[in-house]
Amino acid sequence: MTMMMAAFLVLAILLLLLFLLCFPRQFKPHLHIPSLHGKHVLITGGSSGIGLALAHHCLLQGSYVTLIARNADRLSQAAQSLVHGNLSTSASGVNGHSAQYSKDRILLKAADVSDAAAMSNAIAESFSWRPIDVLVCNAGTSVNGLFDDMKISDLETVTRINLLGCVYTIYAALPLMKARSKRHPSSIVIVSSLSGLLFVYGANMYSATKHALKGLAEVLRFELLSDNIKVSLVCPGFTETPLLDLADKHVIEGNKIFFYDRDYAEAAKVVAAKTMEGVKQGKFLITTSAAGLMVRILARGFTPAESLSDALLEIFLLVPLRVATHVWFPFAKRLIKKQQKQGLNFKE
Ligand SMILES: NC(=O)c1ccc[n+]([C@@H]2O[C@H](COP(=O)([O-])OP(=O)(O)OC[C@H]3O[C@@H](n4cnc5c(N)ncnc54)[C@H](OP(=O)(O)O)[C@@H]3O)[C@@H](O)[C@H]2O)c1
């Protein structure tokens, strides 16, 4: 067994070296967008959490931002907090910051991503303010529970916002972005989740829509190859934002499968910084934590690693991680069955 694994590793390394010799450009560090300074970044779900942290990060780099969300008051409050430099963790999921930005660099649009016509208008208006360089589809929501306990309307809401909201946003922006992207490298950023790469028990439609976003991102990535528009799929783990209040409400009592522990949630500003770093590099699959790295290796699928260090890491970790799934899976099944026997369901 050990001999076989060693032989496999040696073979993998030899294949990688051969690949490097044949396609050296594949692993050359290359910045798709060298700087965010002066770029226009449109962020859906920009009034809170990860979206607001992305706005803060981009403004700090000298970008212009359009923030889209449904609630106009919360959008104004978010813009005020950016302008006056008083973002607070409790309201936004972003640690406090003291930088202040001119309000001329921020455009607010109240619109619902699940309304195709509203998104078409909002994006056209944003584009006429400044051409969009980076389009971030970040708005999202979750209704947690066991599948057959959920209302049809909840299943539909999550699908409309998480999946169709992203589809409508890209559909409205793409023709406008394509018209200039050959001369101006552009990016589409789709915010999925680690639950878009592995199942999360109790987050059925959330997990399903986030998986669907991976499919959408893969297709678009190839469709837009000759348009100079890179597609990035961002998969953060649990992140300290108001969205976790929903998880708190619905977390299963005693549940260990969910891996949910708010104390270990990632900080929104770290997720934002890692996201934009990956976008600048034109990376396709962006994870933001150590757990994310492991899941990314297991669930990457057809997409190859995007840097030499990633490729080497994957080659060394793939087999041990695959073995680990054989230990973890029966454990997970036992735990879920036990919970189901005890009738431990979701809190109301
Ligand atoms: N927090 C996490 O643990 C975590 C982990 C992985 C991935 N994510 C993903 O990250 C994204 C942002 O989540 P977050 O944690 O930052 O959540 P959040 O703090 O609740 O923010 C959600 C944002 O989306 C907006 N929004 C929701 N529904 C919308 C709609 N129909 N149309 C337009 N805007 C809408 C909200 O504003 P309005 O309500 O005013 O519309 C708000 O600005 C989501 O896609 C989420 O799935 C989050």
> What separation in Å is there between the alpha carbon of 76 and the centre of ligand 1?
16
Report in angstroms the alpha-carbon separations of 6 from 56, 283, 322, 325, 326.
47, 30, 15, 20, 20
Beta bridge partners of 69: 110
What pLDDT is stored for residue 90 in this prediction? 46
The residue with tokens 């619109």 is 111
- CB-CB contact of 166 with 216 (8 Å): yes
29 is a domain residue = no
Active site residue 192: yes
Cα 48-163-222 angle, rounded to 5 deg: 110
CA distances from 46 to 4, 146, 285 (A): 50, 29, 21
Q: How far is the CA of 139 from the centre of ligand 1 (A)?
A: 4
Does residue 14 sit within a domain?
no
Closest Cα partner for 138 from 107, 105, 115, 161?
161
Residue ranges of the chain whose pLDDT lies below 50? 89-91, 256, 348
Q: Coil, helix or strand for 107? A: strand
Residue 131 Cα to ligand 1 middle (Å)? 24
Residues within 6 Å of ligand 1 by CB: 44-45, 47-51, 68-71, 74, 93, 112-114, 138-141, 161, 165, 191, 193, 236, 238-239, 241-244
Kindly give the number of the ligand 1 atom that is closest to the alpha carbon of 142.
47
Name 218's Cβ contacts closer than 8 Å, sequence gap at least 6: 233, 302, 303
> Total structural domains in the chain?
1
Catalytic residue among 210, 230, 269, 283: 210
Examine residue 148 and state whether it is found in any structural domain, yes or no. yes
**Residue 135 lies inside a defined structural domain of this protein:** yes
In a domain? residue 13: no
47 C-alpha to ligand 1 centroid (Å): 9
Q: Per the domain annotation, does 196 fall within a domain?
A: yes
188 and 137 Cβ atoms separated by less than 8 Å: yes
Which domain covers residue 173, as residue numbers?
Answer: 34-322
Question: Which residue has the CA at smallest separation from atom 21 of ligand 1?
Answer: 48
Q: Give distance in angstroms: CA of 35 to centre of ligand 1.
A: 26
Residue 285, phi then psi, degrees to nearest 5: -110, 115
Ligand 1 atom closest to the Cα of residue 246 is 20
Which CATH number goes with the domain that contains 241?
Answer: 3.40.50.720
Give residue-wise pLDDT tens across range 168-183: 999 999 999 999 999 9
What separation in angstroms does the CA of 23 have from each of 16, 128, 245? 10, 41, 47
Report yes or no: 23 and 15 within 8 Å, Cβ to Cβ: no
8 within some domain: no
What pLDDT does 255 receive? 53
Q: Give the Cβ contact number of residue 25 at 10 Å.
A: 6
In single-letter form, the type of residue at position 58 comes to C
What is the predicted pLDDT for the residue at 33? 96
Catalytic site residue from 192, 195, 232, 289: 192
Angle between helices 72-84 and 49-60 (to 10 degrees): 40
Nearest by Cα to 193 from 248, 239, 236, 145: 236
21 lies in some domain: no
CA-to-CA distance for 24 and 339, rounded, in angstroms? 51
Q: Among the options 206, 214, 280, 283, which is catalytic?
A: 206
Ligand 1 atom, smallest distance to 236 CA = 6
CA of 241 to the centre of ligand 1 (A): 9
- State the closest ligand 1 atom to the C-alpha of 46, by its place in the atom list counted from 1: 43
Cβ proximity of 243 and 141 under 8 Å: yes
Ligand 1 pocket: which of 42, 48, 209, 234 to mutate (most atoms <8 Å of CB)?
48
Question: 23-27, long-range: CB within 8 Å, 24+ apart, which pairs?
Answer: 27/307, 27/308, 27/311
Atom of ligand 1 nearest to the CA of 268: 16
19-73 per-position pLDDT tens digit: 766 665 555 567 999 999 999 999 999 999 999 999 999 999 999 999 999 999 9
Nearest-CA neighbor of 188 among 171, 201, 203, 210?
A: 171
Answer whether 33's CB lies under 8 Å from 133's CB: yes
Can 92 be counted among the known catalytic residues?
A: no
- Does residue 210 carry a catalytic annotation? yes
- Quote the tokens at residue 240: 């300290």
Helix (H) or strand (E) holding 190: strand 186-191
